[in-house]
Structure 1
Amino acid sequence: MKQSEFDRELKGITKAEAKNRRWKSVDVFCYWSIGPLFFVFVPTARIKERSFNSTLRFKWFDLDRALWEILDMRENEKAPFSLHANGAFVLHGREILASTTHDVEWMPGRLEQEVTHATDEAARRAQELAGLIDGLDSYLAFLQADTAAVLQRHPQAKVDVWRETLLAAWLRHDMRTVEGIARERIAANDRGGFGANDMSFYENALHLCMQGRASVERL
């Protein structure tokens, strides 16, 4: 079997598994919400490498809306719901589960078995996390603790919580915090992973803060 045919089989199995769990899917992306949390599960399988991989990521759903407001992309709110899972201008989310199976014998039924096992684990982990996070504060606290753990294991890893913290402040209309983070990250030459209107993510956030301040001063 060619890899392209194997990919089509994986897509079909993943779609059926998502339907059984009342999740939604696009391509091999499975996505669902539990309260304010949004989860994305993605499996991959390779014939020649004889491997099966899967990842589960999550984010606070409304942070995408805040991102679109800052980037002047509010029209994305009218886009298909799947945009939150695989769109270009959405938060990628934090990885909370990853697994790899090596030396897989791709016998009939094995791919379906791997997908079922991986989605079982993803569903369990998502439900567990949803029970731990009950608001933006606990969400950010989780990310901060996870970031510290990642950096302890891999000191050179490029992971931080600045963007999520700014977006959370935006949702709370805490413009002082938004402006402070934006200025600090701009000074550190951090573009924030997104750009629009010929400005970085943090430059857009600061620009809107300055516009809002100017409007208040004119009143």
Structure 2
Amino acid sequence: MFFSLLVSGNAKENVLYRRLSCKPMAFDPQLWRILGMTENLQAPLGLRAGGAYTLYGVPLYEGSIATSEWSEDGLLNASRGCLVEAEACIKSNHHLRSDDAFMELGEAFNLSIQKSVPNTAWNFWKERLIHRVLKGERNQAMSIAETRIAARDSGGFIIGGQTFYQLSQRQLKSHTASIG
């Protein structure tokens, strides 16, 4: 599992905002294979945290922490607090060690987003498709791709005029042809 802690700040309010998220280590490499960006496989792990061509990850927690003062010492102490919280959260979520456990968490997060923001453009279909591909369930992955193409969902990525789902479909078809 890849855990990412992103911290940003607001100097006027003396507050650090933090977001801890996770995703399976195998998901971004599969995304890059689909998108034809295999050079990203050699990139530093930090690319997975906030790269333009990565999956978002599911938040384990988000929030803010006040700093006593906006200074080097104040920011170091608040940052340490963020790290301690992140470590405790990761330990308390020790069950998140498999793709299936991540998918359960992701489905719950997806449902909560859909309920709170009914017209959101965000969805969990890319992760569902990639999960099926990694499990060797190519027919289910193809079905997801076809359904999302029919829904005119780009999957958030368009490469060479092709959406994520069109690229997925092409890769799945070529893999099936090479087997048969």
TM-score range, shorter chain: 0.7 to 0.9
Q: Which residue of 1 aligns with 2:32?
A: 68
Distance in structure 1 (CA, Å) of the matches to 2:79 and 2:16 = 9
The secondary structure found in structure 1 opposite 2:152 is coil
CA deviation map 1:74-103 (0-9, x unaligned): 121122232222322121211221112469
Structure 1: unaligned runs, 5 residues or longer: 1-36
Which residue of 122, 128, 133 corresponds with 2:86? 122
- Contact 2:148–2:165 (8 Å) recurs in 1: yes
* Cα separation, partners in 2 of 1:49 and 1:140, compared to 1, 3 Å: same
Q: Which residue of 1 aligns with 2:126?
A: 163
Cα shift at 1:148: 1.5
Amino acid at match of 1:206: Q
Which residue of 92, 117, 136 corresponds with 1:154? 117
Cα shift at 1:117: 1.2
Q: Which residue of 2 aligns with 1:39?
A: 3
User: Paired residues, what number?
Assistant: 180
Q: Which residue of 1 aligns with 2:161?
A: 198
Amino acid at match of 2:3: F
Give the alignment's TM-score, normalised by structure 1.
Answer: 0.74
Q: Which residue of 2 aligns with 1:185?
A: 148
Root-mean-square deviation (CA), in Å? 2.1
Return the structure number with greater relative CO, CA threshold 8 A, min gap 6.
2
Moved more, 55-64 or 131-140: 131-140
Structure 2: unaligned runs, 5 residues or longer: none
- Contact 2:69–2:75 (8 Å) recurs in 1: no
Distance in structure 2 (CA, Å) of the matches to 1:167 and 1:39 = 18
Correspondence 1:93 to 2:57: yes
Distance in structure 2 (CA, Å) of the matches to 1:212 and 1:95 = 33
Q: Which residue of 2 aligns with 1:17?
A: none
- Contact 1:52–1:104 (8 Å) recurs in 2: no
Amino acid at match of 2:36: D
Q: Percent identity, aligned pairs only? A: 27
Cα shift at 1:109: 2.6
- Contact 2:66–2:78 (8 Å) recurs in 1: no
* Cα separation, partners in 2 of 1:194 and 1:48, compared to 1, 3 Å: same
Distance in structure 2 (CA, Å) of the matches to 1:79 and 1:183 = 31
* Cα separation, partners in 2 of 1:103 and 1:127, compared to 1, 3 Å: closer
Q: Which residue of 2 aligns with 1:210?
A: 173
CA deviation map 1:25-74 (0-9, x unaligned): xxxxxxxxxxxx10111111222243321111111110011111111111
